Structure 1
Amino acid sequence: MKTSSRPRGERAKLDPFEALSGDVPPRDQRDLMAHPFFSLSKSRRVAPIHYKAGDVELQVYAVAEHGMATIWDADVLIWAASQILAAQDRGLPTSRFFRFTPYQLLTGIGRTTGARSYFLIKSALTRLQSTVIRTTIRQGEHWRRQQFSWINEWEELATRSGRVEGMEFVLPEWLYQGIVDRRLVLAIDSDYFELTGGIERWLYRIARKHAGRQLGGWRFELRHLHAKSGSLARYSDFAIDIRAIARRQPLPGYSLALDRTADGQELVHIRPVEKLCATSPDIRTSGASGIRTTGANLSVHQAHEPQLSLWPGERNRARKDSNEESKSYYLETRSGDNFPPSGTIRRRSDR
């Protein structure tokens, strides 16, 4: 690939990492799987995400011109993580500074390689760069906040005639360190890229992160899942979508079932199917054992006033025995950020 003659910014200080060709096993970063970093809708989202889980806080902000990075845009980050881990497996040096062809990226995430796909990738890179994240995740005992964008900078490498020969981008240090620490990465099924719905994609990542290969799986309260998703959908519409997914069973390697607790709380039970249970032991799980139930005292404020009545004030009685789930959750979307008025959100908004 022709290289840039005058690298700028961070690229001038970093050695480039040339993307690997051929099949690379897909791997995902655990923090990105566990927390609501992305919009689940293909429509432009400007309303921010404010989320708190115990000592973990994160905020995600979007630029009105481009909107928040979506869960489909996150495929670029999954591809980058997969490339870095594959290079480590081969004993090759890695870097935050990526150099690649659009063909390598598109085929690596199961996309077609036509002109439209190339245009969509450029739009994804723009959203990934313009989305701003503030978080305390992995900041240790000092509880510092770190702010970054998913991509620090990116550029096309083209001939004078306009033919694009390659692309470059730079990952933030926070994400890069979360990838090279192999304890923070999980292998995922390549069929993940074929999931078309935003909630389906998010739910698979939740399943892979928490249920892993445990035969008993993992249980979540449905209201807890709604808070954990960062979705702008009303809880009632979100619940309808989850029930529809449970009927279709589209998640590769996992099955979903709905149940209720004695006090009427609706549960989602995620269990690995035989295919996943038979995978090689080098694919990590969440480290838990047995059937777990994740629930929390939830406080959610969204721009829809009627939605507040959906959240009971009583103490949540579900078990809280997940080491990686918090005792409290807070999720906020501010009403002043292009958020539709009450009653205007359509169902399936995360499709």
Structure 2
Amino acid sequence: MTSPRDPQREQLELFHALPGEMPARDVQDLMAYPFFSLAKSRRSVPIDFRAGPVTVRVEGTAEHGIATIWDADILIWAASQIVEARDAGLRSSRLMAATPHEILRFVGRGTSVRDYQRLKAALDRLQSTSVATSIRQPNARRLHRFSWINEWKERADGQGRPLGIELILPDWFYGGVMDDSLVLTIDANYFRLSGGIERWLYRLVRKHAGWQPEGWRFDFVHLHRKSGSLARFADFACDMRRIVARQPLPGYALAILRSRRGPEVLAFRPVPSTAPLRPGGSFGHGAWPVDSQ
């Protein structure tokens, strides 16, 4: 019995994962906006973010829920592979082949049977999550709709021995990765961050502060909206204060700016910095850019 034709696969050239170590890369759009659940428990409540011309709507199924920020590690692996191939003058494709071992090792996970099962569950969530966004659309009223993975399957040879997995990435994601201006290198220690909030915060900080000595800042209210978190604002603010106290983000120093009026403000800048942190977790006076979107 012959397998049914798959027009999408027939039009794509298979891109095998490159061997060896490489820098981790992330797409700025995914770092700046709430595309993923920050909770390890299943989230079925949609993410609905709107700010000016930007719309982000993310929905999951009752069975799998919305893809999590830990699931997004697979997309970071994919982006890293594609950029590495591009920079080496090699052809890449939205149709990728790799072994679970290669993906798990890159993102700092174990390679036990349980880790393989978790990887498959992550792939299922990425495939079943539905995204609609105005980002990178010529008209803000027109939304691009896609899933993080169009489809994926396990591969085997003629004797049934496993050969790894194949997955197809959406055009929207692949286009962002191929645009060098939309990709940033991230610290490999990002994968060591265990909390959803701190993972989301690192990506936001890396995107906005970059290597600017003066850094950046957001008020807590805006951060809460930008995170897409279901936590109450009071609980979210407590999480922010705990993160600032621990200083867990690789390559960045955090501080809370307080005033008698107005919300608390999270300030961040790359380290080492010419303006040191003051005792008590606040930066010295300086000109800080403020982002309101």
TM-score, normalization: structure 2?
0.91
- After TM superposition, the structure 1 = structure 2 runs for residues 156-167 of structure 1, keeping only pairs within 5 Å, are 156-159=154-157, 163-167=161-165
| Separation (CA, whole Å) in 1 of partners of 2:94 and 2:5 | 14
Choose which of 200, 207, 210 in structure 2 pairs with 1:209.
207
| CA distance in 2: counterparts of 1:21 and 1:7, whole angstroms | 30
What is the CA–CA distance in structure 1 between the aligned matches of 2:134 and 2:32, rounded to whole Å?
14
Provide structure 2 residue ranges, at least 5 long, that are not aligned to the other structure: 274-286
User: CA contact under 8 A between 1:16 and 1:95: conserved in structure 2?
Assistant: yes
- The count of corresponding residues between Structure 1 and Structure 2 is 278
Q: 2:70 corresponds to which letter in structure 1?
A: W
Residue type of the alignment partner of 2:58: V
Q: 1:139 corresponds to which residue?
A: 137
Equivalent pair of 1:10/1:170 in contact (CA under 8 Å) = no
Matches of 1:189 and 1:246, distance apart in 2: 19
Contact 1:28 1:82 in 2 (8 A): yes
CA distance in 1, matches of 2:191, 2:115: 14
Aligned mates of 1:58, 1:210 — CA distance in 2: 19
* Rounded Cα–Cα distance in structure 2 between residues aligned with 1:291 and 1:86: 34
Match of 2:127 in 1: 129
Moved over 4 A (4+): 159-162
1:78 match: secondary structure: helix
Query: How far has the Cα of 1:34 moved from its partner?
Result: 0.3
Q: Which residue in the other structure is 1:19 paired with?
A: 17
Which one-letter code corresponds to 1:99 in the other structure? A
1:261: how far off? 3.6
- 3-state DSSP class of the match of 1:294? coil
Q: 2:146 aligns with which of 139, 142, 148?
A: 148
The share of aligned pairs that are identical, in percent, is: 55
Query: Residues 82, 6 of structure 1: CA spacing in aligned structure 2 closer, same or farther, 3 A cutoff?
Result: farther
Cα separation, partners in 2 of 1:7 and 1:192, compared to 1, 3 Å: farther
Asked if 1 retains the 8 angstrom alpha-carbon contact of 2:54 and 2:140, the reply is no
Contact 2:148 2:170 in 1 (8 A): yes
| Aligned ranges 1:70-81 → 2 under 5 Å | 70-81=68-79
Q: 2:269 aligns with which of 268, 271, 291?
A: 271
Task: Give the TM-score normalised by structure 1.
Answer: 0.76
* 1:187 CA displacement: 0.6
Deviations 1:97-125 (A, max 9, x none): 00111111111111111111111110000
Q: Which AA in structure 2 matches 1:217?
A: G
Structure with more contact order per residue of length (Cα contacts < 8 Å, sep ≥ 6): 1
User: Is 2:89 the counterpart of 1:99?
Assistant: no
| SS in structure 2 of the partner of residue 215 of structure 1 | coil
> One-letter code of the match for 2:230?
L
TM-aligned CA deviation for residue 141 of structure 1: 4.0
Quote the residue 2:283 is aligned against.
none
Q: Name the amino acid aligned to 2:203.
A: R
SS at match of 1:165: strand
- Where 2:67 maps in the other structure, the secondary structure is coil
